[in-house]
């Protein structure tokens, strides 16, 4: 008998949904636009009670399960389709159905080794095709113009950043049971993401206009379906000494390299993935220190206090940096945390102020 899909998915929805191609901006726990009906701050995902989401508009302010979110995102018509998707993610078949499944308290980083060879080949091939269609950045192209307007003092665009002349932008299904729709083709900046084993597991896309501005699309920055890894970095070059830097966004990382010449800084896409960063196996004999360029985020309420208890506040950037520093310490790697002094800013804001 196959295990219940609910038991497999409990607490693991961020990994399942990210692997299904749902942009991780919808999985942070912060209020924001709904992936299905838009808005500004009507939607929120919560990885509690097994995983759930809410939208004040299309779910009528009622919490819905991760299965409902997966069905709407993928266009599945039945719960069985979503349940089969979850079992496929965990590679559960009738041959290994009796294995014990524990319910974790929090989402865990899924291993690429749990994916089938067919799924790995399919998703890798899709990402590789995007990369192969992209060109090196040259002066005056949309990516060059975008980065130079965003990162003051940038002298050279790393070769690991490429320009895609017409990348498709897909809108999610408008209604349950419908299919994604093609909004159009746009110039885009693309960067590959690699996991600690040097495997190509993700590609980051920034949609632009021909004159180097952000495209008029709901979500300018997206990742692909990927290979299900929540520990990857967008490698902007190789370190030439025993230190390497990490940051959240691409522009933040480039700004850090401008402000601290000689330091190679790798963006990790989000605070969650930053906190999961691991020094690649290929650099373990070289890198002895990781410089963590943290965003100085404003405190946000993640849970309201009850019965007079204080609200629970979270500063995602600083907490991610502290988590990473502690993980590195346990494996004998030194760390240095750097952040701008002003609350609500990152290294890119700092670079723009002192330019």
Note down pLDDT in tens along the chain; length 355 residues: 455 788 778 878 888 888 777 877 788 888 888 888 777 888 999 987 778 999 988 887 888 999 999 888 877 777 887 888 887 777 765 444 444 343 333 333 344 444 678 878 888 999 999 999 999 999 999 999 999 999 999 999 999 999 999 999 987 655 544 567 889 999 999 999 999 999 999 999 999 999 999 999 887 888 877 776 778 999 999 998 999 999 999 999 999 999 999 999 999 988 878 888 999 999 999 999 999 999 888 876 545 555 666 665 667 778 889 999 999 999 999 999 999 989 888 899 998 888 7
What pLDDT is stored for residue 179 in this prediction?
A: 67
The residue assigned the tokens 């070289």 is: 286
What pLDDT is stored for residue 28 in this prediction?
A: 84
Instruction: State the Cα–Cα distance between residues 244 and 85, nearest whole angstrom.
Output: 38
- pTM given for the model: 0.69
What pLDDT is stored for residue 172 in this prediction?
A: 66
Domains of the chain, earliest start first: 5-108 (3.90.580), 110-229 (no CATH), 230-355 (3.40.1360)
What pLDDT is stored for residue 242 in this prediction?
A: 94
Local structure of residue 187 (DSSP, 8 states)? E
Long-range pairs for 351-354: beta carbons < 8 A, 24 or more residues apart? 351/151, 351/152, 351/153, 351/255, 351/258, 351/259, 352/152, 352/255, 354/259
Instruction: State the Cα–Cα distance between residues 201 and 167, nearest whole angstrom.
Output: 19
Long-range pairs for 73-77: beta carbons < 8 A, 24 or more residues apart? 73/17, 73/20, 73/21, 73/22, 73/35, 73/172, 73/173, 74/20, 75/173, 75/176, 75/177, 75/178, 75/179, 75/180, 77/176, 77/177
Q: How many CA atoms lie within 13 A of 210 on its CB side?
A: 1
């Amino acid at each position: 008998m196959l295990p219940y899909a609910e038991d497999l998915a409990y607490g693991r929805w961020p990994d399942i949904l990210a692997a299904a191609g749902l942009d991780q901006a919808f999985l942070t726990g912060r209020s924001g636009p709904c992936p299905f009906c838009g808005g500004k701050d009507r939607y929120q995902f919560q990885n509690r009670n097994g995983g759930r989401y809410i939208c004040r508009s299309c779910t009528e302010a009622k919490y819905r399960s991760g299965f409902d979110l997966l069905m709407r995102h993928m266009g599945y018509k039945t719960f069985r389709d979503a349940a089969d998707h979850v079992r496929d993610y965990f590679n559960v078949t009738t041959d290994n159905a009796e294995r014990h499944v524990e319910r974790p308290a929090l989402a865990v980083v899924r291993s690429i080794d749990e994916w089938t060879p067919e799924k790995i080949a399919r998703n890798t091939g899709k990402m590789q095709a995007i990369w192969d269609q992209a060109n090196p950045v040259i002066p005056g192209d949309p990516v060059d113009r975008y980065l130079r307007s965003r990162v003051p003092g940038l002298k050279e665009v790393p070769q690991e950043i490429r320009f895609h002349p017409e990348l498709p932008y897909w809108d999610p299904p408008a209604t349950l049971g419908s299919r994604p729709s093609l909004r159009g083709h746009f110039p885009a900046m693309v960067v590959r993401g690699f996991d600690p084993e040097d495997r190509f597991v993700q590609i980051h896309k920034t949609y632009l206009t021909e004159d180097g501005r952000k495209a008029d699309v709901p979500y300018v920055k997206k990742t692909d379906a990927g290979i299900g890894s929540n520990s990857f970095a967008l490698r902007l070059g190789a370190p030439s000494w025993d230190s390497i830097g990490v940051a959240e966004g691409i522009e933040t990382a480039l700004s850090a390299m401008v402000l601290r010449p000689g330091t190679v800084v790798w963006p990790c896409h989000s605070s969650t993935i930053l906190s999961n960063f691991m020094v690649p196996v290929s650099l373990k004999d070289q890198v002895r220190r990781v410089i963590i360029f943290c965003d100085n985020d404003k405190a946000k309420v993640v849970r309201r206090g009850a019965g007079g208890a204080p609200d629970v506040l979270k500063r995602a950037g600083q907490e991610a940096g502290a988590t990473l520093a502690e993980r590195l310490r346990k494996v004998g790697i030194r760390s240095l945390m750097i952040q701008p002094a002003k609350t609500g800013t990152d290294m890119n804001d700092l670079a723009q102020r002192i330019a």
